[in-house]
Amino acid sequence: MREETFSDDDVAESDLVTRRGTFRAVAFRADGHEHMALVHGRTAMREDVLVRVHSECMTGDIFGAMRCECGDQLDAALDRIVAEGSGILVYLRGHEGRGIGLVAKVRTHVLQDEQGMDTLDSATTLGLPVDIRDYSPAARILKHLRVGSVRLMSNNPDKIEALERNGIAVSARVPHLARPNPHNIGYLTAKRDRLGHDLPQVDVFTSADQPTDLPTAR
């Protein structure tokens, strides 16, 4: 049975002024990883708090890689939280490559680039799982922050189910779509067709009437 709360030793927080605005930056130690929650505005004891639970992706989040949409989603989540005036971004370490780690993820990229495999087959061909992310640290963090219920920015039904299984009430899913590009359309298509993510923008990528209100890859 995992602990539900954090000891004082495992939490530290400060204000964090960013280009977008001021957040409360709350750092956590959990299960051998260090995570961060960026809290904007009033969220404690509130219902329907706008939340993004974001899986670490060094290539996309830090370096702006266009082969996935992670960086765009990170930016869009922070923009939306600030635009609404309140919300929380939980940044989860240990989730790199859907839990297989950075070296393994880059190995999957080699198979994708050289053999045309998708994001699932490139993992299983290496004998690796497709998704072994643990969302219990995110649930513990949201409980620590005393949110009532959350509106979750995600296209992944499994993420909602995992948070609810860990005791977080998800009052709504907020679609979190990024504009496809030629480098990530295969990734998005595999997530839609094989992982069950709700990604309607894949359908219109090749049509003339592309949506105009989606964040563009950096």
E-state strands within the chain? 11-17, 22-30, 33-40, 49-55, 87-92, 149-153, 169-174
Q: What is the DSSP string of 41-73?
A: S--TT-SSEEEEEEE--IIIIIT--SSSSHHHH
Any catalytic annotation for residue 133? yes
CA dist 184 and 188 (Å) reads 6
Q: Has 96 been labeled as part of a binding site?
A: yes
Length of the chain: 218
Q: How far is the CB of 216 from ligand GTP (least distance, A)?
A: 16
Any catalytic annotation for residue 131? yes
Q: How far is the CB of 121 from ligand GTP (least distance, A)?
A: 10
Number of residues that bind ligand GTP (CB under 6 A): 23
46: tokens are 């509130």
The verdict on 98 binding ligand GTP (CB under 6 A) reads yes
Which region among 12-20, 33-41, 83-91, 105-113 touches ligand GTP (by CB under 6 A)? 105-113
Q: Which residue among the candidates 131, 134, 158, 198 is catalytic per the annotation?
A: 131
Q: Within positions 140 to 199, which residues make up the interface with ligand GTP, using CB under 6 A?
A: 154-156, 159, 176, 191, 197
Which region among 8-16, 39-47, 94-102, 143-151 touches ligand GTP (by CB under 6 A)? 94-102
CA dist 36 and 118 (Å) reads 30
